[in-house]
Structure 1
Amino acid sequence: MKQVLPVQAVQGNVKVPGDKSISHRSVMLSSLADGTTNIYGFLPGADCLSTISAFRRLGITIEQHEDRVTVYGKGWYGLREPSEILDIGNSGTTIRLMMGILATLPFHSVLIGDESIARRPMKRVTTPLREMGAEIDGRAGGEFTPLSIRGGKLRAIEYHSPVASAQVKSAILLAGLQADGVTTLYEPELSRDHTERMLRSFGVDVESFPGGVRVRGRQTLTSPGEIHVPGDISSAAFILAAAAILPGSHVTVENVGMNPSRTGIIDVLQAMGADLTLHNERDINGEPVADIELKYTPLHGTEIAGNLIPRLIDEVPVIAVIASQAEGTTVIRDAAELKVKETNRIDTVVSELGKMGARIEATEDGMTVHGPVPLMGTVCDSHGDHRIGMSIAIAGLKAAGETHVRDAESIDVSFPGFFAVLKSISC
């Protein structure tokens, strides 16, 4: 259990750990490529380490020294049948993208994860992969882990995804790279496009178009030599949130990835009236990067819905914290996807912030938050969800008295050193 005490403000310049989504993909694509790739700024969190572990068991040599990783790629068919079950821990990205890769390979593999993964829906990926010709089985007809995969010769498909999910899209694209023909995927809203951007840096021809993406099969990957992972905007969101709710705060988060499919949190803060400025905008490895400066100013409520939701789905818990201190009502809609994250984040956000005195109600596909209200420190539970744990901690900086976060270790999944960073800027 971690104790959080109230502070007056947060001030200073900080860096956050590397982007989790990009870190996963950098290891995966480097393993599938011909040549050696050096990855800098890698996130050494538990989820990304699960990806490294899985590829080691598939026969890839990977050296890791904190946030620097070297992958000795063997090409797509250099992977070998694992002699043991592939345990991906808590990582939904690892298991869903791995399914797309393993579906192409002519051997048998089994994927499992922790209790949280065992509850998360997998049929959104197993269904299209089966259409492509992969043999996949699992609990409830392939809806839940453990999942058994026998891959091999695949055929291209045209698939209309019922959800806007980068994990679903990426799994289909990766499978499509080794399928006969052209695979096309349509999605209801634009999901994050890190996979497409990184595939292009590995020499792959990927076509993005309004409403979807397509890829030609039988393409190979060539290592770009180096990948520089920017700071994770989902992690930066917690630092920005602290500054947004504490009068007198002034922070700059340096070297943050600003992929347009991920910057919904910036749009929301600006819609709420935040004094936010981007500096040093640049491009690294096909990803836009900038330094984000935020000075405290009183905020007001807003409405968050529609195509904005996929661009900030991971930030909704901490947006709820911000909304609890903003003037008026904030309504979050079209976010039913929150129910199938590490926890049902609609229920856990409402429950834990409610314990602290927030005026917050769950709806069928989101939540409504009324502010501003005084928060009171109490004992809260992360429910093993890193983003819930960090959101409670940020609320604790504003709350009167002591806040205690149960299972705070879960935060290491995406933000190792989170509490040390908070301490460094607290005053």
Structure 2
Amino acid sequence: MSGHGDPIPMSAQKSGPLTGVAEVPGDKSISHRALLFGAMAVGETRISGLLEGQDVLDTAKAMRAFGAKVTHVGPGEWRVEGVGVGGFQEPEDVIDCGNSGTGVRLIMGAMATSPIVATFTGDASLRGRPMGRVTDPIALFGAQSVGREGGRLPMTIVGAAQAVPVRYVVPMPSAQVKSAVLLAGLNAPGETVVIEKEATRDHTERMLAGFGADIRVEETDEGRVITLVGQPELKPQTIVVPRDPSSAAFPVCAALITEGSDVLVPGIGLNPTRSGLFTTLREMGANLDYENMREEGGEPVADLRARYSPDMVGIAVPPERAPSMIDEYPILSVVASYAKGATVMDGVKELRVKESDRIDAMALGLEACGVTVEETEDSFTVHGMGPGGVPGGATCKTHLDHRIAMSFLICGMASQKPVTVDDAGPVVTSFPIFEPLMEKLGATFHREDV
């Protein structure tokens, strides 16, 4: 698969039982941060289990452009020789972040308090996503930005020559925005304070502490208050990246809706700010067990065993759970289609500014497959058709969105007629082994003639 170039139409047809072990790639969020913090440390950081999807590879390339020495030494094994906080050099060329909103927003934050200039771009999907949510707070540090109308890429950031610390209340639940502000705060004197009213994934806080930053987190009446002391010397680390729960969602959900399936997905990160999908699936009645629970690299980890679950029922997903599963709503909506009754997903307007408008993309595709869906600006409801009840037979638009593509391919594995996606190419950005991994478990995919 290729995330760029000609479209790759692909269909999935009704599958027999899925069985075996699904070794999904490393966590994408942690992989991005491992490269970034390694580049801002002094000395050599060693990383194993890094996700080698295009999004993360683009971040590795960007760190090289800012002066860090980034070396690939084997499958998933990387070394980063950092330049220290405030040590970024000015890139000689435009930084292309491909499809990655996480990559571009975190890197913008990391360079915003250094007196350098960098220009960022990305693919068609990323160029359509709003960057104001990051450029507004980094302006408080003294950085300047010039981009296209609506705060969109390509965009040039002029880093602050004399950065000042800030106190910032994150206006929406966004780990990307929170992390960008904390990364900017690293090279500002004094204390930078970030307040989030709803907790989001906390990999940045955990990893900053691991690299030796002076950071503290408090739960207050204002919300979750994160205080970071600027201008530390980050110490290099040895990082083992746990497997990605967002990638694990696809073989897990496929097993739940495909008759006779029994799949083990080992070594999955179960950080409570990331595991909302699995909690939700169990509330729906999924036969999903946690085995061999343990801790690796400061993150809770377990093996997930997912078995066919014909008795799942629709539920109302608590809106406050959205930040812990925001990337998993597309595949949850597929599972909901095979449950009995309605699944209501509220508090999810953030889905409208992801790689695509994910509410609209999933609603249109599921309706084309014969499922009744209702949507509002901040919610969508899927009326389940029970086990094997989805007619299928549609061609669904992916809008250059990897999670939309994978979700509809999973849908086709249990539907009555095959489901086709117009372009499976973007899958490589987050889950480069999706196709062979799922086929090894028993899925049947077919690449269509263009």
TM-score above 0.5, yes or no: yes
| Per-residue deviation, 1:276 | 1.7
**Structure-1 residue corresponding to 2:97:** 88
Q: Quick one: which of 314, 318, 335 aligns to 1:305?
A: 318
Distance 1:271 1:354 in 2: 25
**Structure-1 residue corresponding to 2:341:** 328
User: What does 1:1-400 correspond to in 2, within 5 Å?
Assistant: 1-64=9-72, 65-140=74-149, 143-151=151-159, 152-210=161-219, 211-212=223-224, 213-224=226-237, 226-297=238-309, 298-372=311-385, 373-400=389-416
Q: Give the TM-score taking structure 1 as reference length.
A: 0.97
Distance 1:180 1:43 in 2: 33
Contact 1:375 1:395 in 2 (8 A): no
Contact 1:190 1:307 in 2 (8 A): no
What is the letter of the counterpart of residue 257 of structure 2? I
Contact 2:319 2:345 in 1 (8 A): no
**Structure-2 residue corresponding to 1:422:** 438
Distance 1:409 1:67 in 2: 22
The answer to which structure, 1 or 2, has the higher relative contact order (CA under 8 A, 6+ apart) is 2
| Per-residue deviation, 1:374 | 2.4
- 3-state DSSP of counterpart to 2:149: helix
**Normalized per residue, which structure has more helix?**
1
For residues 328-357 of structure 1, the C-alpha deviation after alignment (integer angstroms, 9 at most, x for no partner) is 110111100000000000110011111111
- 3-state DSSP of counterpart to 1:199: helix
Contact 1:201 1:285 in 2 (8 A): no
Contact 1:305 1:335 in 2 (8 A): no
What is the letter of the counterpart of residue 37 of structure 1? T
CA separation of 1:381 and 1:66: change in aligned 2, threshold 3 A = farther
- 3-state DSSP of counterpart to 1:276: strand
- Give yes or no for the alignment of 1:405 onto 2:421: yes
- 3-state DSSP of counterpart to 2:156: strand
| Per-residue deviation, 1:68 | 1.5
For residues 260-281 of structure 1, the C-alpha deviation after alignment (integer angstroms, 9 at most, x for no partner) is 1000011101110112211111
Mind listing any 5+ residue stretches in structure 2 that lack a counterpart?
A: 1-8, 444-450
Distance 1:232 1:248 in 2: 25
What is the letter of the counterpart of residue 47 of structure 2? I
Distance 1:259 1:341 in 2: 22
Distance 1:411 1:377 in 2: 21
| Per-residue deviation, 1:140 | 3.2
| Per-residue deviation, 1:79 | 2.1
Contact 2:391 2:417 in 1 (8 A): no
- 3-state DSSP of counterpart to 1:259: coil
Contact 2:163 2:189 in 1 (8 A): yes
Contact 1:176 1:217 in 2 (8 A): yes
Distance 2:30 2:162 in 1: 28
What is the letter of the counterpart of residue 200 of structure 1? A
Mind listing any 5+ residue stretches in structure 1 that lack a counterpart?
A: none
Distance 1:417 1:154 in 2: 42
For residues 32-62 of structure 1, the C-alpha deviation after alignment (integer angstroms, 9 at most, x for no partner) is 1011112111111111011011111112221
- 3-state DSSP of counterpart to 1:179: coil
| Per-residue deviation, 1:324 | 0.4
For residues 206-244 of structure 1, the C-alpha deviation after alignment (integer angstroms, 9 at most, x for no partner) is 1112222111112121101x1111110001011111111
- 3-state DSSP of counterpart to 1:255: strand
Q: Give the TM-score taking structure 2 as reference length.
A: 0.92
What is the letter of the counterpart of residue 162 of structure 1? P
What is the letter of the counterpart of residue 367 of structure 1? F
Distance 2:289 2:353 in 1: 33
Question: Paired residues, what number?
Answer: 425
**Structure-1 residue corresponding to 2:448:** none
| Per-residue deviation, 1:407 | 1.2
- 3-state DSSP of counterpart to 1:197: helix
Distance 1:383 1:120 in 2: 13
Contact 1:101 1:174 in 2 (8 A): yes
What is the RMSD computed on CA atoms of the aligned residues?
1.3
